[in-house]
Chains A and B, each alone.
Chain A
Amino acid sequence: MTNVLNNQFNQVCEILNKHDNNHYKLIPILQEIQEIYQYLPEEIMTYISTALGISPSQIYGVATFYSHFTLEPKGKHIIKVCDGTACHVKKSGKILETIKTELNLSNKKPNSDDGLFTLETVACLGACGLAPVVVVDETVYGSVTPEKMTTLINSIREMESETLIPEEVNHE
């Protein structure tokens, strides 16, 4: 475990070096650090502030301004529902509702209890020709219906429960 932490922290230092500790590069730095941790841990942000010579509040300000950054660990799979104009008029709202019911989520609770899913809405994914659109991790699904969405969530759950078993074997 300590190894993992050390390793992650070394990567952070490498990223800062790569960008010459230049505070103008704050956004790419945060993006790359989020790649490592999947979110922005508070202590790392404090560290960056010292390394770049800017105040922690400035870093926090940037981290909370942009929707791409997150201060909390996210679920394993990110479901992005497009609620752009085209998707909206093609009833993306119903898909959102389906996901919320299926995973027991609300506007204030975007992460599912099993840690598998995080629900996000995005303004436009630029795939309007296929509206309504949902993106799970990196895969784009077009012309989604509430039924298709439920099937998709279930198939991910199934896949996860299958992969869980070999992992447990490894632990032994």
Chain B
Amino acid sequence: MNKVDLNTITNQYTQSTKNFKSSVVVCAGTGCIANGSMDIYNKFLSLSNEKGYKITVALKREEGGESLLKHSGCQGFCQMGPLVTINPEGIFYTHVKVEDVEEIIEKTLKKGEIIDRLLFENQEKGKIAHQNEIPFYAQQQRTTLKLCGMMDAEDIEEYISHNGYKMAETAVLQMNSQQLCDEISQSGLRGRGGGGFPTGFKWNLARKQESDKKYIICNGDEGDPGAFMDRCLMEGNPHSVLEGMIIAGLAIGADEGYIYVRTEYPLAVKRLRKAVKAANELGFLGDQIFGSDKSFQINVFEGAGAFVCGEETALIASIEGRRGMPMPKPPYPAQKGLYGKPTIINNVETLSSIPVILVMGTAQYASLGTAKSSGTKTFALTGHVANTGLIEVPFGTTLRQIITEIGGGVINDDGTNAGADFKAVQIGGPSGGCLIQDHMDMPLDYDNLIEVGAMVGSGGLVVMNHQTCMVQIAKFFMQFTQNESCGKCVVCREGTKQLLNLLDDIIEGRATMETLDLIEELAKTVQIGSLCGLGKTAPNPVISTLEHFRDEYIEHIVNKRCPTGQCSALRSFKIDQALCKKCSLCMRKCPVGAISGSREEGYVIDQNKCIKCGACVEACKFKAINCA
């Protein structure tokens, strides 16, 4: 294959776009699509002809026109979607509706006027017109995510124009495998998938193996509930993942790679397949890549719905067409992996960071973050915060910065702002633990988190307010791991089930103080006796909530009372006669007829009949029913 010159493509791209006055970037991440961003995209196109103002789709830019229309990957600020950005000015519109499109064309595109109504607004600064001035973005440092949400994810030429595939080319033509491993070791990059194993070191292990065939696998089986960083990368910048894989392949001497994507991410699968096709056409993948004598293939493999397949050996079993059950290590996949050949498995974010690191320079990347955790990390910020979405910050950022400055503060169940006053932050999903107010100013990095019994994990940050019951949260995670346990190890299969039963005992008021001892003993057993990470970390949420919220557990057990009122079996309802307007609504709403009385004498709840469903509380307009 003839070698494609990257500079020529970049020049072509610049030439073909320079006559456009502006570009309109419609966010087409899963979140914004759910809010109707594709309708907005289509509206721009359909109005283009009517309004006598030509808007051209990015991939047909040769046709010329006045504005260029792109659909990008996730821009991160999902809460405010659908998002529309007008470049080069960087005007950032939030909550855009189909009806607004006409006005955007008439005012912003034609005349350069800003439509105030669509701008982001906060109490301190009022209306903010540009993306980089919004606190949610201003406090972040986006390196891996930088291009995500800015460029058209399906446009390989636009990726190339941002130095894309340049590092892969340099690696193929000018570097040997040892140099590559050394570079990445120097950058201090650690695996972003959870464990934080140094990437360069891992590559070196596979590089030294002698074998006729080696594989590189990109682990896109992002299964942690509350985490969606990898989805955004695969959807928003699939080419960076491919480029990272090409470089990783060279570094270990592999000529074939697999991307394992979970089936719940159909858009990611589609965009990755498209990206692989485009890269093949330009000779970045296939035989004689970049005009060299090397070859590299990438296959996109769609998972079939099993959380445990995020574990390396289970993932390999799954690609080989078997049940995704983990195997004992050693042998490590770096020695004997896919089809018995040396295999390296890297997380999506890790691979996507590779080209970014090489473009930036390893020394500069290593200067970001903390001494032992260099670089930046993406987090999925969700739960009870004002601004939910995808964020990227350097390691060493504190929870306070993330929650108050980027997240805009904690919110109560009714949506009111509670400032920085959260109850707990769950980090690292079902393998992680809870952080509490004491950890507010601790710099977040791999080692600090391990020290307090949590872990970076894949990077889900779920903020919980004071109305959240921690026993319920522990039960939630236990339910998750119990469902997802593959069943191979007895202590994991049965132990998680028993832990779940014990937690149910607490929630439903059957527990005694001995239950707590039993939980702790069993939790340790499951940790010790399980083969893979899923089982070893399954009890973490219970252990961590027990450590930080032991009083809350005891309150459930001794006083049979849930402090947050979330455990329905422990609730008791009472009508406050002073507030009651005797409207009889609660009596009519009660499904079991536990409320009796009359409009003259007022109403009472029969505690023996009450099933504690809470229907009366929801029905009462005067907040006269107390739940304790």
Contact = CB atoms under 8 A, between A and B. Distances in A.
A95 B226 CA distance: 18
A87 B610 CA distance: 28
B321 A24 contact: yes
B497 to A, nearest CB: 15
B602 interface: no
A124 B323 contact: no
Given A129-B388, A140-B30, A142-B31, A30 B382 contact: no
B266 interface: yes
Scoring B227, B339, B384, B486 by chain A CB atoms within 10 A of each residue's CB, the highest score goes to: B227
Contacts of B30: 125-127, 140
A89 B464 contact: yes
A65 B487 CA distance: 10
A84 B462 CA distance: 10
Which bucket holds chain A's interface residue count? 35 or more
Contacts of B224: 124
Contacts of A126: 30, 222, 227-228, 231, 264-265
A87 B324 CA distance: 27
B226 A124 contact: yes
Contact of A142 (B34, B264, B476): B34
A119 to B, nearest CB: 16
B223 A124 contact: yes
Given A65-B323, A140-B33, A129 B318 contact: no
Nearest to B223: A123
A138 B265 CA distance: 11
A24 B321 CA distance: 5
A27 B305 CA distance: 11
B287 interface: no
A85 B476 contact: yes
A5 B320 CA distance: 30
A61 interface: yes
Interface string B33-68: 111000000000000000000000000000000000
Nearest to A67: B305
B78 A68 contact: no
Contacts of A28: 301-302
Contact of B318 (A27, A90, A123): A27
Nearest to A139: B34
B226 A128 contact: yes
B33 A65 contact: no
Contacts of A25: 321
A135 to B, nearest CB: 9
A89 B306 CA distance: 23
Interface string B472-494: 01001100100110100000000
B317 to A, nearest CB: 10
B202 to A, nearest CB: 25
A129 B468 contact: no
A111 to B, nearest CB: 18
B77 to A, nearest CB: 8
Contacts of A125: 30, 264
Interface string A114-140: 000000001111111111010000111
Which bucket holds chain B's interface residue count? 35 or more
A68 B307 CA distance: 11
Nearest to A62: B323
Contacts of A128: 78, 226-228, 380, 382, 388, 460, 462
A37 interface: no
Interface in B220-245: 222-228, 231
B79 A129 contact: yes
A9 interface: no
Contacts of B79: 129-130
A31 B304 contact: yes
Contacts of B227: 124, 126, 128
A127 B31 contact: yes
Interface in B295-313: 301-307
A127 B321 CA distance: 29
A89 B302 contact: no
Interface string A126-162: 1111110100001111100000000000000000000
Contacts of B382: 85-86, 128-129, 131
Nearest to A23: B321
Contacts of B389: 129
B111 interface: no
Given A122-B264, A142-B35, A88 B476 contact: yes
A164 B265 CA distance: 32
A82 to B, nearest CB: 8
B28 to A, nearest CB: 12
Nearest to A69: B304
B194 interface: no
Interface string B249-275: 000000000000001111000000000
A65 B306 contact: yes
Nearest to B224: A124
Q: Which 7 A-B pairs have the closest CB atoms?
A: A129-B78, A84-B225, A26-B321, A126-B228, A66-B304, A85-B226, A140-B34
Interface of B: 30-31, 33-35, 78-79, 81, 222-228, 231, 263-266, 301-307, 318-324, 339, 380, 382-384, 388-390, 426, 429, 460, 462, 464, 468, 473, 476-477, 480, 483-484, 486
Interface of A: 23-28, 30-31, 58, 61-62, 65-69, 83-90, 122-131, 133, 138-142
23 contacts: A24-B321, A24-B339, A28-B301, A31-B304, A62-B321, A66-B303, A67-B305, A67-B306, A69-B304, A83-B225, A85-B382, A85-B476, A86-B226, A123-B225, A124-B223, A124-B227, A124-B228, A126-B264, A128-B226, A129-B81, A130-B31, A130-B79, A140-B33
